[in-house]
Amino acid sequence: MRKYFGTDGIRGRANGVITPELALKVGQAAGLVFQRGDHRHRVVIGKDTRLSGYMIETALIAGFTSVGMDVLQLGPMPTPAVAMLTRSMRADIGVMISASHNPFEDNGIKLFGPDGFKLSDEVEREIERLIDSSLHTRLAGSTDLGRAKRIESVHARYIEFAKRTLPRNLTLDGLRVVVDCANGAAYRVAPETLWELGAEVIAIGTEPDGFNINRDVGSTAPEALVAKVRELRADIGIALDGDADRVLVVDEKGQRVDGDQLMAVVARSWQEDDRLSKNGIVATIMSNLGLERYLGGLGLGMVRTAVGDRYVLEHMREHGYNLGGEQSGHIIMSDYATTGDGLVAALQLLSVVQRQQRPVSEVCHCFDPLPQVLKNVRYGVGGEPLRQDSVVTAIEGARQRLGEGGRLVIRPSGTEPVIRVMAEGDDRDLVVRVVDDVVEALRKVAA
């Protein structure tokens, strides 16, 4: 078990878990780990639009500069943009300050290596070891301290990168697109990218005030997007989350399209164009069984990993896949990016829509999902409800009732004290009863 890092960096309540003291030490520790060679080392730092981003950014800058690293400040930028710019600007490390889809009270620190990929567990453990050690003897001398500089051109760089993921002769002319930026990191770059590609763009969730990120907008609260698509009779709605590494799509009828359907669309398109590097994709244990069956019908396989886009990406890199993702909308296309990119995933879908000249509802209805029920149970910090005998018995009974035609997934969240209970199968009533029974057992011990 790691002390600070979860499934997606370090995350928690701002000024509670994510304090200036911790951010300072993370900057020092990560800076020391990635000082390799005699060159002048540099780090790029991006953030979303949370009020606490100012505090954390300042503390990180103090940490990095105190160990001799120069800091390039990007300001509010999507997580995939930070990963891309880490490589493009030849930085030794990249940092994104964000708690993704969490409310504004939370924040987090995501780290990328010089290759733009998230760090391995081994490197994160080394950073944790340094965080808890005495670092004062390893600080830079007075003449070797780092400098900090704000970079102004980064928005244009990312917009150009996103546009180049499409063929030059493909435009979005004729499409009316509603894009919901969740009052988050993509509030400038996403609408601009779509407009430059020729779409008629209606943008919502583009007025961040430090407090409203993900509040009633974005991929985790798509009701506003659904209403706007129906009101304006738009062709498509695109909802990003707070740091824009995930996407949810709404078709012209106001129906939601999740990451599983998006992966199906892209997998089929790339198979037809002979662009899949392997005969299949990588998904997680949360992806619907309907996706697996659909891909099987195309002659494609589907490998499942633990939840978290980092685990999807690790398997993709190790085994040579170039397409993977999560049901939640983290879509990873390693031909273009080193992490999930909500905007690029949406552009890939739009390219299929334009080429086929069919409504989004038709393009994105690849399969009928099996009934799937997901519920969360919150527990006290430090508790271990999954170890209780009554819970173990309830889980074993649930698996037996579902049989081989269904799936039961029980997992603790990597970012908050929550147990997620998911079941799926052909019989919806059975799935609901199974989840309710396990949740009830968990709630009794959690209470």
Catalytic residue annotation: 100
CB atoms under 10 Å from CB of 147, counted, come to 12
Q: Virtual CA dihedral for 400, 403, 406, 411, nearest 10 degrees?
A: 30
Look up residue 137 and give its DSSP letter: G
Q: Virtual CA dihedral for 240, 338, 111, 247, nearest 10 degrees?
A: 10
Q: Could you tell me if 265 and 298 are in contact, meaning their C-beta atoms sit under 8 angstroms apart?
A: no
Phi and psi at 30, nearest 5°, equal -65, -40
Which ranges in 67-209 belong to alpha helices (H)? 79-88, 121-131, 154-163, 189-196
The CA distances from residue 98 to 10, 271, 309, in Å, are 9, 34, 15
Tokens of 284: 């997680």
Closest CA to 248 of 282, 216, 215, 225: 225
Closest CA to 22 of 55, 59, 48, 50: 59
Tokens of 181: 């930026």
At 151 the three-state DSSP class reads: coil
Classify residue 327 as left (phi > 0), alpha (psi -120 to 50) or beta: alpha
Tokens of 208: 């961040």
Which ranges in 89-222 belong to alpha helices (H)? 121-131, 154-163, 189-196
Q: Identify the helix (H) or strand (E) that includes residue 402.
A: helix 389-402
Q: Residue 125 burial by CB count (10 A; 0-12/13-18/19+): exposed, middle or buried? A: middle
At 408 the three-state DSSP class reads: strand
Q: DSSP secondary structure string, 248-303?
A: EEE-TTS-EE-HHHHHHHHHHHHHHTT--SSSEEEEETTS-HHHHHHHHHTT-EEE
At 69 the three-state DSSP class reads: coil
Q: Tokens 């990312």 belong to which residue? A: 158
